[in-house]
Structure 1
Amino acid sequence: MTPSPDRAWPRQLLDRFVTLWYLKAAGTTAFMVLFFQAYFWVLHHPSQMPFPMPVLAIDDWVPFTPAGFAAYVSLWVYVSLPSALLPSFRELLRYGLWTAALCASCLMVFWLLPTQAPVPDIDWSLHPQLAFMKGLDASGNACPSLHVASAVYSAFWLHHIFVQVGAPASLRWVSVLQCAVIMWSTMAIRQHVFLDVLAGALVGWLFAWLSLRTTATGPRRRNT
């Protein structure tokens, strides 16, 4: 008897997760190490003086929320999920190449047209976690927000994966909500302004569309 889709999807996700898990773990770790080396090199070697991003009225609508730091750092778990749930080496390689293209494109923009987030009137010594991050990042490489671009890109890929395995709509909405919370957090901790977020969302959508446009999105067919 063929299992119902509602009961089959957790097993499909588990099977995907354990497939090539060692390669996925090593590849994700290596990719992040290389990315951060490139990111901080560009941050400290811009081609010209960074341009401060303008603040719009919408930026004042999002209150400063130090607790948003937890959502901000959750990105690194969120962006690891699509690769962890891919079913084959071919799909993993394809996903990795498109992810690298997204990151490389943003790094090129950061180097050619460097921008920085405006400095808010906040005593960062009262928020040690945020102060540490600000000291590392200096709120540079602002537009487009690569944090947002990566979250949106991952959200589209997760949607694609959840549809493939026939996961319930509620799971897809949880993913969308997590993406939205990550986007909010970039403004809530004053790491980015609205224009950074908007540009990052557009970049994430563009690369998701390019990488998924030739891939079927229907549920995987089962043998009877």
Structure 2
Amino acid sequence: MKNAVTFRLWQMLLGWGSVGLIYTLTDHLQHAGQIMTPSSLDRMIEFSPHAIWLYLSFFVVVPLGYLLTPLDRVRWLSRAMRLTALGSGTVYLVWPTTMVYPVDEGTTLSSIMLAALTYVDSAQNCLPSLHMALMVLAVWGVSAARRRVRTIVFILWVAAISYSILQLRRHLFLDVISGAAIALLSGWLIDVFSRSRQRARKESLQ
């Protein structure tokens, strides 16, 4: 049991840690980003600093993803996150994007937390949203356990966080959709690569 937990934590360090490293490096290496225009859907969603609390629960979703994904799928989750980070990082360097962030002059604890987040977060690296991408992969991993109620809870949780991203104006709807898309593509590619390796091993043993 102890070895299994250690393995999960190590894979999380490799996967999530790579995301953080690439996110930070690309933020420093890229040139000034193109300002993205909000869609009509973005403009319909009212800005609210109070969404910060739901937004921060992202930092619970990802670790739970590694802890609740079936053990034989944890390595897949880590590799998919690394591939997602590489793909996103390439986009950040080739076509950096930014947006016009709302000015929040509130004095509530929510506003203070949002100001702290804004201070440490990148003002660029908008498209695709790695925030969304990692949550999609975490839910995908958790769903592999085939526990319906748990999967539904995670899907609803991630959907709520996605909405909070738009409420806080940390990303636009296009960023969120593209983040989900690159996560799905990366996860699928890792699956294809893994099956190809398994077939190659079987053939070599015959």
Matching residue's letter, 1:36: G
Partners of 2:21 and 2:185 in 1: how far apart?
A: 25
Query: 1:132-191 deviations in whole A, cap 9, x for unaligned?
Result: 111122431000111011111222222122x1xxx2x32221111011012111111110
Q: CA RMSD in A?
A: 2.4
* Structure 2 residues not aligned, in runs of 5+: 196-206
Measure the CA separation in 2 of the matches of 1:125 and 1:118: 21
The counterpart of 1:99, out of the listed 81, 86, 102, is 81
**What amino acid does structure 2 have at the position aligned with 1:113?**
W
CA-CA distance at 1:124 after TM superposition: 6.4
Instruction: Say whether the 8 Å CA contact 2:79–2:190 is kept in structure 1.
Output: no
In 1, Cα distance between the equivalents of 2:129 and 2:41?
Answer: 16
Q: Secondary structure at the match of 1:67?
A: helix
After TM superposition, which residue ranges in structure 1, 4 or more long, deviate above 6 angstroms? none
CA contact (8 A) 2:77 2:138 kept: no
Which of 196, 201, 207 does residue 186 from structure 2 map onto? 207
Q: Tell me how many residue pairs correspond in the alignment.
A: 192
Indicate the residue corresponding to 1:64 in structure 2. 47
Q: Report the structure, 1 or 2, having the larger helix content.
A: 2
Structure 1 residues 203 and 124 mapped into 2: Cα distance closer, same or farther (>3 Å)?
farther
User: Which of these residues, 183, 196, 203, is aligned with residue 175 of structure 2?
Assistant: 196
| Separation in 1, partners of 2:87, 2:106 | 31
- 3-state SS, counterpart of residue 95 of structure 1: helix
Q: Distance in 1 between matches of 2:26 and 2:106?
A: 24
Gaps of 5+ in 1: 1-14, 216-224
Identity %: 22
State the match for 1:42 in structure 2: 26
Shift of residue 100, structure 1, vs aligned partner: 0.8
Do residues 187 (structure 1) and 166 (structure 2) align?
yes
CA distance in 2, matches of 1:207, 1:60: 30
Flag the 1:93–1:173 CA change in 2: closer, same or farther, 3 A: closer
Whole-angstrom CA distance in 2 between matches of 1:203 and 1:98 = 10
Residue pair 1:69, 1:185 contacting (<8 A) in 2 also: yes
Q: Identify if the C-alpha distance between structure 1 residues 64 and 75 changes in structure 2 by more than 3 Å, giving closer, same or farther.
A: same
Q: TM-score, normalised by structure 1?
A: 0.75
Q: Specify the SS of the correspondent of 2:49.
A: coil
1:73 aligns with 2:52: no
